[in-house]
Amino acid sequence: MPTDAPEADGTLSWDSTTLVLATVRCGPVTGIGYTYAPAAAARIIDDLLAGIVVGSPVLDVPRLNEAMHRAVRNAGLPGVAAQAIAAVDIALWDCKARLLDLPLVDLLGTARRDVPIYGSGGFTTYDADRQDRQLRGWAEEEGIPRVKIKIGESWGQCEERDLRRVAEARASIGDEPALYVDANGAYGAKQAVRVADALADEGVTWFEEPVSSDHLALLARIRDHVTADVTAGEYGYTLPYFEHMLAAGAVDCLQADITRCGGITVWLRVAALAQSRGLDVSGHCAPHAHVHAAAAVPNLRHLEWFHDHVRMERTLFDGVLDPGGGSITPGSVAEPGLGLTLNTERARQYRVS
């Protein structure tokens, strides 16, 4: 699906987003799952995962998740293969809950009813007016008390504009809402600390990937020198990755993406790892894929209400949730599974296979 305007963060630019949809059928029930990944993920599902799943008991989702992980050993798990597994795993959980005629959150077990969200966008390609309209829409019209913008433009080469945009964001939302920033690993270490000191003046409390999350010791040192919570983890594709990040003391809140880390089965384990170290977990992007699992963990901080994915999910699916007041409530209309139905009429124009 094309974006509604050119978009960029600190280290990447794009003008479209691809959603790979997996469907699992069991008798009269169809479960759906998805990931935001290259179209190659669909080929992995067809070639490596479908044969594992077809003919297996749909209730045995953890067993199938393990079998899918083993099936991609030679293909390489981190990256697209993990995203393919995630799409199928989500579809399996959706299918299981539909067979049992339960909202997925009730099948998993509820730790909370409402899932806090934060509005996420504020791309570096936005001018001041577009950023202002987006942030005011979340804070004033929808009552979302947390918002995030992208900084680190052009690999940290536009530091002055970064700081100006943060000041403009604070002016847009006022003093009360929380203001977050995401550098997508664009800064160098000392630059990140300098920027963090300036961000503190605007009340920024969440500094996502100030440097690349590939460098855990460096991330940990920055965490020790700044007042904002340092966060990362969205590029975690395996459970050991998250354990390494936690063991390094690299983050104050662990991020995990259910559409990248192997699906609901693995995401719940990531949340348990974080809880064992006294840390919260935050769901990265894909809000409607996350929300039922997010409501099932006690150490959830919030879920990212990401502009691109919200726009796509509202277009492609019926049954999407209302973010008004700053939270979403899975199972609120008692629909089984994820509560989503693919709207084939609206989706048809975007289908590529």
- Rounded to whole angstroms, the Cα distance separating 23 from 32 reads 5
Helices (H), the chain: 40-44, 50-53, 61-71, 80-99, 104-108, 128-136, 153-156, 159-173, 189-200, 216-225, 239-247, 264-276, 287-294, 307-316, 344-347
| Mean of all residue pLDDT scores within the chain | 97
- Would you say residue 206 has pLDDT above 90? yes
- Percentage of the chain beyond pLDDT 90 is 98
Q: Provide the token pair at 92.
A: 């399996």
User: Which residues have C-beta within 8 Å of that of residue 287, sequence separation ≥ 6?
Assistant: 117, 303, 304, 305, 306, 309, 310, 313, 321, 328
pLDDT single digits (tens) 83-133 = 999 999 999 999 999 999 999 999 999 999 999 999 999 999 999 999 999
Res. 333 pLDDT band, cuts 50 70 90: confident
- pLDDT of res. 332: 80
Dihedral of alpha carbons 54, 55, 60, 63, sign: negative
Contact 293, 258 (CB under 8 A): yes
* Residue among 79, 92, 52 at smallest CA distance from 68: 52
User: Which residues have C-beta within 8 Å of that of residue 122, sequence separation ≥ 6?
Assistant: 131, 134, 135, 147, 148, 149, 150, 165, 169
Helix (H, G, I), strand (E, B) or coil at 188: coil
CA angle 252, 255, 258 (to 5 degrees): 160
What number of helices (H) and strands (E) belong to the chain? 15, 15
- Rounded to whole angstroms, the Cα distance separating 76 from 69 reads 10
Contact 219, 185 (CB under 8 A): no
* Residue among 90, 60, 100, 108 at smallest CA distance from 297: 108
Res. 319 pLDDT band, cuts 50 70 90: very high
Rounded average pLDDT over 227-239:
97
- pLDDT of res. 17: 97
pLDDT single digits (tens) 243-266 = 999 999 999 999 999 999 999 999
Q: Provide the token pair at 88.
A: 């199928």
- Would you say residue 353 has pLDDT above 80? no
> The whole model's pTM is what?
0.97
pLDDT single digits (tens) 281-312 = 999 999 999 999 999 999 999 999 999 999 99
**What is the number of alpha carbons within 13 Å of residue 46 lying toward its C-beta?**
8
Q: What is the 8-class DSSP label of residue 206?
A: E
* Residue among 156, 147, 209, 153 at smallest CA distance from 180: 147
